[in-house]
Structure 1
Amino acid sequence: MKTIRLREGKERSLLRRHPWVFEGSIAKGGGDAGETVRVEAHDGQFLAWAAFSPHSQIRVRAWSFDEAERIDEAFFARRLQRAVALRARLGIVSDAMRLVHGEADGLPGLVVDRYGDTLSVQFLSTGSERWRELIVRQLLAATGLSRLYERSDTSVRKLEGLDQRTGWLAGEGATELAITEHGLSLGLDVALGHKTGYYLDQRDNRQRFAALVRQLGCQRVLNCYSYTGGFSVAALAGGARQVTSVDSSGPALEQARRNLQRNGFDPGPHGFADADVNQYLRQALAEGTSFDAIVLDPPKFAASAAHAERAARAYKDINRLALKLLSPGGLLLTFSCSGGISADLFHKIVAGAGHDAGVDAAIVQRLEAAPDHPTTINFPEGEYLKGLALIRS
């Protein structure tokens, strides 16, 4: 077993069971890509069993902090079975859910989503990549499913020195699927959709939006960065009369049309704008348009804290425009999925946007990812999705 020895004083994070060790914390030692290594403090004290990544700034990702535990087939069987069992206990009102959420489930670099009878998986680290074939077998055994599609096509793999890869790892057939969440039917494509196929983390926020639209009597709704229209369908389910979905992807908007239809809503009266959201908001403001409810669910603006300042300006600008477009008493759901933007910073950004817009608003709820995307107490970086539900004064 190869050993990694840390610099003096750099053991504190592992002692707190935080799973990452950065390159600058290592005094000596190494290994092959994904190889299991023993991680020790400067004095030889055992800290963790971990996967080594020779190319990433995150040089080590911990599998276990138990010196007696072995990283073998039985280890992965236990971790996967535990993750699947947790989701079964959460009472998720959907046939689609996240089954494995990386570090939060003790499996760094592994993401697994279930869409009905199909699993969609991402191997995002050298550690999960090294155990890929075994993990596939264990996933099929733990879930009893026979279809598994790989979506290891994210830029994170490049940082790990890994090539991108997609395709069926088990089973075959159509990649276009339909799922049900909170009584609504939504179509997706595990091969072509964002992430593993869809944004399951917003499941409960879509339901909350539908409830608020109904409670507040919102009739005119704008869904920005709408993707395939999940929040648009939710708004109509909540009683909205007219919904405009804005996204820069034509195919996503076509899927949004189909999602309206599959839930019994005629897409004819509703708007589908293939446009840049920032430009759309500015044009709507120039035309004197207003809305009763607006959703801002943009893509990641800041991949890390180093990009936070630039991202903050972008978040502030779209929130300023949205708040100005809201009718008095109107509802804004605004989100950030940037790991480099904390919940506290996001609150300050939105507050600044309100000040610049000359608009006051009340926070009626703080929003986060659905519970099948957990954040552990030892890994706060896992809390990537944060949101606010605001009512304009």
Structure 2
Amino acid sequence: MPDGIVKLKKGEGRVLKSGGMWVFDNEIDAITGDFEDGDIVEVHDFDGYYMGVGFINRKSKITVRIMSRKKGQEIDEQFIEKRVRNAIEYREKTVDMSSCRIIFGEADFLPGIVVDKFSDVLVVESLALGIDRFKLIIIDKIKMVLKEMNINIRGVYERSDAKVRTLEGMERMKGFIGEEFDTKVEIIENGIKYFVDVQDGQKTGFFLDQKYNRAAIKPMCKGAKVLDCFTHTGSFALNAGMGGAKSVLGVDASELGIAQARENAEVNGLSDVVKFECADVFELLPQLENDGEKFDLIILDPPAFTKSRNSIKNAVKGYKEINLRAMKLINDGGFLATCSCSHFMDTELFTKTIAEAARNVHKRLRQIEFRTQAPDHPILWSADESLYLKFYIFQVCDEM
């Protein structure tokens, strides 16, 4: 049973009361009991009303992450198994599970941990002290439930090397959990083969959240000249190539990413159509404009330009700049696929930024689609942080 009680200030706990799972340090009136950071505690409102049970870390601004709202709920192995089983059953009904996100933190009611499945390999990213204690149990339960579905896992790699762990007072970790294996993993997504570097690739090695967005661009690619900016390991570029593009140029600032993208193009027999260049997109776009280049489709899939509210103004400038530059490079009637993966760049602000960019270059936008992340990254209403990916497809027209 919990050994501590966290009491909220009067009028605080708004996120928690609206269905969220976080209690922030500035919302707390008092903490009592005999416990260590990472232990399970109860959360009470200012008047003693029970609000939930979760793990505490006084080093973190998110002091408590709620695990359950049921009074008397034991956070034990049986509880973890139920959470894992629910997460996998949800994905069985909603996505292609050959490669997918198995656990998505708060949205799967296991706050602070992400687990991706790439073919027969799991990659785990643990970002909070309390959930770190359950990490191995979570992995074992995932393996067990998948085995019941005749899906065997040959290896697990940990990518808990994000800077955010230091905010939790934790060391950054990276390495095998269990036996070693070849960390270059082949997956198939939308009929396209990729080699995923789970050891040294960005985040967990591959961005699964764009799976269905990548497929959504294919109808616009037939016979098109395509530019894929921030291509990472070539995923949008390869979908464009498979969609029948005349030519595709993928651009990224990472030499490692470009090398992997070229290998991915080769294994799919697309090397003649899909080319890659290592360059800074912010420098390349004006250069292409000066050279008189034009494209039928441009894809903008940048990394998060902001990871805090403090830098949102600079992020807006960055998003506006690349969208403005891209629109100038698109043929009249051509297409723009543009996205933001920053939680702090909310849908309203992102939409406003794109609209301003279009006005500045005298372009008219016809919206074709607005999409978010794939269903294996579920959006939990009341947990705002679970909605982060915004993805638009527009037709870009010259002013009448």
2:102 to 99, 104, 121: 99
Does the aligned pair in 2 maintain the 1:98–1:113 contact within 8 Å?
yes
Which residue of structure 1 lines up, in the alignment, with residue 150 of structure 2?
none
CA distance in 1 between counterparts of 2:283 and 2:235 reads 22
Once the two structures are TM-superposed, the CA of residue 36 in structure 1 deviates from its matched residue by 0.7
Once the two structures are TM-superposed, the CA of residue 173 in structure 1 deviates from its matched residue by 1.2
Q: SS of the counterpart of 1:163?
A: coil
Which residue of structure 2 lines up, in the alignment, with residue 90 of structure 1?
94
Which residue of structure 2 lines up, in the alignment, with residue 70 of structure 1?
74
CA distance in 2 between counterparts of 1:151 and 1:143 reads 21
1:112 to 111, 115, 121: 115
2:219 to 190, 203, 211: 211
1:237 to 229, 239, 242: 242
CA distance in 1 between counterparts of 2:25 and 2:163 reads 20
Letter matched to residue 73 of structure 2:
E
Letter matched to residue 230 of structure 1:
S
Which residue of structure 2 lines up, in the alignment, with residue 250 of structure 1?
255
CA distance in 1 between counterparts of 2:220 and 2:68 reads 43
Letter matched to residue 24 of structure 2:
F
Which residue of structure 2 lines up, in the alignment, with residue 328 of structure 1?
332
1:263 aligns to 2:268 (yes or no): yes
Q: Structure 1 length as normaliser, TM-score?
A: 0.96
Which residue of structure 1 lines up, in the alignment, with residue 186 of structure 2?
178
Q: SS of the counterpart of 1:202?
A: helix
Query: What do the CA deviations read for 1:302-331 (whole angstroms, capped 9, x no partner)?
Result: 112232111001100010000000011111
Query: What do the CA deviations read for 1:266-287 (whole angstroms, capped 9, x no partner)?
Result: x245432211100000100111
CA distance in 2 between counterparts of 1:311 and 1:59 reads 28
Does the aligned pair in 1 maintain the 2:226–2:295 contact within 8 Å?
yes
1:375 aligns to 2:379 (yes or no): yes
Does the aligned pair in 1 maintain the 2:265–2:274 contact within 8 Å?
no
CA distance in 1 between counterparts of 2:15 and 2:387 reads 17
Aligned length: 388
Letter matched to residue 213 of structure 2:
N
Once the two structures are TM-superposed, the CA of residue 33 in structure 1 deviates from its matched residue by 2.3
Which residue of structure 2 lines up, in the alignment, with residue 3 of structure 1?
5
CA distance in 1 between counterparts of 2:340 and 2:125 reads 22
Query: What do the CA deviations read for 1:93-117 (whole angstroms, capped 9, x no partner)?
Result: x610001000000000010110111
CA distance in 2 between counterparts of 1:386 and 1:109 reads 22
1:20 aligns to 2:14 (yes or no): no
Does the aligned pair in 2 maintain the 1:307–1:340 contact within 8 Å?
no
1:365 aligns to 2:359 (yes or no): no
1:345 aligns to 2:353 (yes or no): no
Once the two structures are TM-superposed, the CA of residue 15 in structure 1 deviates from its matched residue by 2.5
Which residue of structure 1 lines up, in the alignment, with residue 310 of structure 2?
306
Which residue of structure 2 lines up, in the alignment, with residue 81 of structure 1?
85
CA distance in 1 between counterparts of 2:313 and 2:82 reads 41
Q: SS of the counterpart of 1:235?
A: helix
CA distance in 2 between counterparts of 1:70 and 1:374 reads 25
1:276-287 matches, within 5 Å, as: 276-287=280-291
CA distance in 1 between counterparts of 2:109 and 2:220 reads 36
Does the aligned pair in 2 maintain the 1:337–1:386 contact within 8 Å?
yes
Which residue of structure 2 lines up, in the alignment, with residue 137 of structure 1?
140
Which residue of structure 1 lines up, in the alignment, with residue 300 of structure 2?
296
Query: What do the CA deviations read for 1:350-371 (whole angstroms, capped 9, x no partner)?
Result: 0011111221111110021001
Higher deviation after alignment, 373-382 or 23-32 = 23-32
| Residues 269 and 209 (structure 1), Cα distance of their counterparts in 2 relative to 1, 3 Å cut | closer
Once the two structures are TM-superposed, the CA of residue 140 in structure 1 deviates from its matched residue by 2.1
Query: What do the CA deviations read for 1:46-80 (whole angstroms, capped 9, x no partner)?
Result: 00101111211111110011113211111111101
Once the two structures are TM-superposed, the CA of residue 17 in structure 1 deviates from its matched residue by 2.0
Query: What do the CA deviations read for 1:335-389 (whole angstroms, capped 9, x no partner)?
Result: 1001111111100000011111221111110021001100111212210000110
RMSD value over aligned CA atoms? Answer: 1.3
CA distance in 2 between counterparts of 1:205 and 1:180 reads 15
Q: SS of the counterpart of 2:357?
A: helix
2:232 to 221, 227, 236: 227
Q: SS of the counterpart of 2:174?
A: strand
Q: SS of the counterpart of 1:63?
A: strand
Letter matched to residue 170 of structure 2:
L
CA distance in 2 between counterparts of 1:148 and 1:125 reads 19
Once the two structures are TM-superposed, the CA of residue 187 in structure 1 deviates from its matched residue by 1.2
Letter matched to residue 292 of structure 1:
D
Q: SS of the counterpart of 2:244?
A: coil
Runs (5+) with no aligned partner, structure 1: none
Does the aligned pair in 2 maintain the 1:3–1:39 contact within 8 Å?
yes
1:165 to 170, 173, 195: 173
Q: SS of the counterpart of 1:70?
A: coil
Does the aligned pair in 2 maintain the 1:221–1:293 contact within 8 Å?
yes
Letter matched to residue 178 of structure 1:
E
State the identity as a percent: 35
